[in-house]
Amino acid sequence: MSAHPLLAVSEVETFYGRIQALRGVSLDVHQGEIVTLIGANGAGKSTLMMTICGSPQARSGRVLYDGQDITTFPTHQIMHMGIAQSPEGRRIFGRMTVMENLMIGASVADQKFFDEDLERAFALFPRLKDRRDQRGGTLSGGEQQMLAIARALMARPRLLLLDEPSLGLAPLVVKQIFGAIGELNRADGLTVFLVEQNAYHALKLAHRGYVMVNGQITMSGTGTELLARDEIRAAYLEGGAH
Amino acid sequence: MEYFVQQLINGVTLGSIYGLIAIGYTMVYGIVGMINFAHGDIFMVGAFVSLIAITALGLTASTGLGLTIIALILVLIFAMLIASVYGWTVERIAYRPLRGSFRLAPLITAIGMSIVLQNYVQIAQGARVKPLQPIIQDGYTIMRRVDEQGEFVVQISNMQIFIILLTTALMVTFSMIIAKTPLGRAQRACEQDRKMAALSGINVDRTISLTFVMGAALAAVAGLMFLLYYGVIDFFIGFVAGVKAFTAAVLGGIGSLPGAMLGGLVIGLIETFWSAYFSIEYKDVAAFAMLALVLIFLPQGLLGKPEVEKV
Ligand SMILES: Nc1ncnc2c1ncn2[C@@H]1O[C@H](COP(=O)(O)OP(=O)(O)OP(=O)(O)O)[C@@H](O)[C@H]1O
Ligand SMILES: [Mg+2]
């Protein structure tokens, strides 16, 4: 573990107009870790993901990336520093082909890696290879989710932010994606910060986890620790996959 | 028949000019969802800058062919540069600060910018029409018929060839930029989802600025063509040509690039044929009646985007 965390969020407050969505959030993600954030609907998880990327910017508190204060950096500049996000709702460019979506994702990366990265993305999601010339908007929901993740990977990030990557995917595909995330983390040392509804899978996969309630972090610990806690089981694992 | 072919050539020429202006409307609409009402005036500025440059270079019909070509290229580049600066500035001072404000706000400043540009040119260049002696002359007779009613000839002038070829070349280049280059992809990404574009590392503000610059540069080309073709300009040409090019953009399907080109051609042809066969006084009425009809019966335009995406 390096001296400072790769991502350090401290006392962040984010507002939408007068509505406060984050109420002093602090957390760390270290180089090489998989960290997950779980919480109920409306807790502020997606807001935190977007605040890290500067859209919206935190009204107070700080976001440090690799030791540098990026709180007020414009979004596109942050994305050039090695952060990539697969956002909530997938946000595929619907009138562009799968290939074009991937090219957009790769626009912050060194173009000499493009072919290699494309190969890797297609190996991860072979379905995308078959549909490379199809318009993103006509893909199925699951295929769009795969494309969103692949697009983020094309940026060759150091820190990958995933907002509910398992949403709308068949259990088998979820397993595959989580397997792939674990693999990227082990093999390439990719650091992952992951928001999940699927708390069981996420906590199993992650080294550490945080729980967010109403814009605040209420609990944190290793994945196994959190999985063992009764309040977590009751609130987030009820009826989930065991 | 000869008369028809002649009108066809004239109509395509006029349509080329409208098409080039229409691209600016359609691209800006695509990326920021607003009608840039000052765009016609950027075209007018382009025409005036061209006139100033031509006068400064001392270009006349008696200039040799080689020199004329070099001089026109210089004039073209100069006009495109200056118009780009205008387009960029208009966006920067009148639209960008209002991004995210209510929908009508940029529309109102757009009309304001249009008035500012017209008045500025009126004061700086005078209100009277400015003539320019023909520079590109001659042409080819492509059809000729003599019968008891007289002689009919169909001619295509060098000027018309110049306009049609340059327009075609620009449109091909431009379509390639949009379809194949990183800038074109960035523009389309901003068009579809600005937030995601930013999340992909695209500088949205810069991309929008470049879109205005590209539109303005094409409008300047149209301005030079207009000046050379008609030989007179005044501070008001941007209004009429602008509204027609806007009609062309709507007709083709606002937001669609091929639509703007097609719409420009159709408007140019309608206007020319109407003048030729019915009445020249009502040519503008014909063009605007077309706008009304399109808005009523074909609001998507000829090549408008069908919205089929999943959300
Ligand atoms: N653009 C917005 N404008 C106003 N309020 C917003 C906006 N986006 C989110 N909110 C509010 O902020 C709060 C946090 O939303 P957020 O999307 O971050 O929750 P979440 O934890 O990601 O929820 P979910 O699990 O449903 O995705 C919610 O109360 C939501 O209504
Ligand atoms: Mg969310």
What is the residue with the minimal CA distance to atom 5 of ligand 1? A16
CA end-to-end span of chain A: 32
Mark yes or no for CB contact B310/A87 under 8 Å.
Answer: no
The H-assigned helical ranges of chain B are: 2-32, 39-57, 65-90, 104-125, 158-180, 182-192, 194-199, 204-230, 237-252, 257-277, 283-297
Q: What is the pLDDT confidence band of residue B310, given thresholds at 50, 70 and 90? A: very low
B304 lies in some domain: no
Closest chain A C-alpha to B207 CA, distance in angstroms:
12
Q: Are A212 and A25 in contact (CB under 8 A)?
A: yes
Size of interface A-B (CB pairs under 8 A): 74
Q: Which atom of ligand 1 is nearest to the CA of A215?
A: 14
Name the residue range of residue B163's domain.
Answer: 19-235
B80 lies in some domain: yes
Closest chain A C-alpha to B32 CA, distance in angstroms:
16
Best probe residue, ligand 1, of A13, A15, A16, A211 (max atoms within 8 Å of C-beta): A16
B273 lies in some domain: no
Which amino acid would we find at residue A127?
A: R
Say if ligand 1 is within 6 A of residue A43 CB.
yes
**How many angstroms is it from A111 CA to the middle of ligand 1?**
35
Q: What is the pLDDT confidence band of residue B168, given thresholds at 50, 70 and 90? A: very high
Mean pLDDT on A107-113: 93
B266 lies in some domain: no
Q: How many separate domains does chain B show? A: 1
pLDDT at A77 over 90: yes
Which residues lie closer than 8 Å to A176 by C-beta, 6 or more apart?
none
CA A151 to CA A105: how far, in whole Å? 5
Mean pLDDT on A57-65: 96
Which residues lie closer than 8 Å to B311 by C-beta, 6 or more apart?
none
B255 lies in some domain: no
B11 lies in some domain: no
What's residue B127's pLDDT? 84
Q: For chain A, list the domains and their CATH numbers.
A: 7-237 (3.40.50.300)
- Report angle CA A100, A102, A105 to the nearest 5 degrees: 115
Nearest to B201 among A107, A138, A144 (CB): A107
B112 lies in some domain: yes
B9 lies in some domain: no
Residue A35 CA to its chain's centroid (Å): 10
The helix (run of H) or strand (run of E) holding residue A209 is strand A208-213
Give this complex's ipTM.
0.93
The H-assigned helical ranges of B33-103 are: 39-57, 65-90
Per residue in B80-107, is it b (16+ CB within 10 Å) or e — as a string?
bebbbebbeebbeebbbebeeeeeebbb
